[in-house]
Structure 1
Amino acid sequence: MTSRITRPGRKASVTVRRATARDAKRLTRLVRGSGAYEGRYAAMVAGYRVGPAYIDTHRVFVAVDEGDISGDHGVRDRVLGFYSLLIDPAELDLMFVADAAQGLGIGRLLVAHMRDEARAAGLDRVRVVSHPPAEGFYRSMGARRTGTAPAAPPAVAWDRPELEFAIPPAA
């Protein structure tokens, strides 16, 4: 299952495809370089690695551009964001959008794709333990707050919002 958007006035379209082991280094760089994890949140991603084994084991999908979406002429198949959907238990484990791609609809595209994948897998809901600054985004995408996941030091020294996406059956 692939999704695609074409931005008006842009030469490129964005495609969501299944990640491969070859994407591991780029996904790791995206996580570690995320501006959302600066300051007090930096320790959580400092040594984080999205490895080939993780990609092979889980449903990891990447949003890639197919040309010139932000002025980088000649750059193709650039990773703009990604997510990982766990099936049992149903959880959105990771979701990141590159800082330079924020505001382009990549997060919205990834959430829509995740919902389609969850539906195809027979899930009726998907849990999200959110990075605190991302809660507003998930809520704007239709997730509802269900609780709070307590801090788990040393990796995560803060409480996190727990949310849930309802996955209605296909119409």
Structure 2
Amino acid sequence: MQVRSTSMRGGIVIRRAAARDAKRLTRLVRGSRAYEGQYAAMVAGYRVGPDYVETHRVFVAVAADDAAGRVLGFYSLVLVPPELDLLFVEDGMQGRGIGRSLVEHMKSEAGAAGLDRVRVVSHPPAEGFYRGVGALFTGTVSANPPAVVWDRPELEFLIQ
């Protein structure tokens, strides 16, 4: 299923990710400026593998007019238990509505799968974004060293 959005000039297409996208998704995660400094260790060795892409509902946003299909952002919806596991937008493309479009698409996918809510354990600097697109704060997930050494906000989307 492809969905078109006109949230940026030229629009974007959101399509199901394929195993061949895995390396691009890994580069997007590892290269995110949101994970610089104290957060760098969390994504340093992170890998989005082809098996992950095939197991979960992973969708990518690409520019509608880009024949090369450059990935501008992506998300991963895990159905059991319901969780938005990953959501990244390329650094230079943030602020153009791509993240908002990905969240709306995720909510649609979650509803189609029969989910009534989707949990998000947020990267601390991203909490404001999630609240801005409708997620409700539900608590805090404690640090889990050595992988994660800071508490993280827990939120959820109510799916209608």
User: Please, what TM-score do these two structures have when normalized by structure 2?
Assistant: 0.96
- Could you tell me how far apart the structure 2 residues matched to 1:40 and 1:62 are? 27
Cα deviation 1:73-99 (Å, max 9, x = unaligned): xx6311000000010100000000000
**Superposed structure 1 runs of 4+ greater than 6 Å apart:** none
Instruction: Give the % identical residues.
Output: 71
Structure-1 residue corresponding to 2:19: 21
Equivalent residue number for residue 58 of structure 2: 60
What is the alpha-carbon distance in structure 2 between the residues aligned to residue 7 and residue 87 of structure 1? 27
Show structure 1 runs of 5+ residues with no match. Answer: 69-74
**1:149 and 1:161 in contact (8 A); partners too:** yes
Q: 1:125 to 1:151 in 2, by over 3 A?
A: same
Which among 29, 39, 42 is matched to residue 40 of structure 2? 42
2:156 is the alignment partner of 1:164: yes
Q: Distance in 1 between matches of 2:151 and 2:133?
A: 21
Q: Secondary structure at the match of 2:149?
A: coil
Does 1:136 pair with 2:136?
no
Question: 1:119 and 2:111 equivalent?
Answer: yes
Q: CA–CA distance in 2 between the matches of 1:118 and 1:7?
A: 21
Q: Cα offset for 1:42?
A: 0.3
The structure with more radius of gyration:
1
Out of 83, 95, 104, the residue aligned to residue 103 of structure 1 is: 95
Q: 1:48-77 deviations in whole A, cap 9, x for unaligned?
A: 000000001100000011336xxxxxx631
Q: Is the 8 A contact 1:3 1:109 kept in 2?
A: no
Classify the secondary structure of the residue corresponding to 1:142.
coil
Amino acid corresponding to residue 22 of structure 1 in structure 2: R
Q: How many residue pairs get matched?
A: 160
Secondary structure of 2:139's aligned partner: strand
Shift of 1:155: 0.9
Confirm or deny: 8 A CA contact 1:67 1:76 kept in the other structure: no
Where does residue 80 of structure 1 map in the other structure? Answer: 72
Normalised to the residue count of structure 1, the TM-score between the two structures is: 0.90
| Equivalent position of 1:3 in the other structure | 3
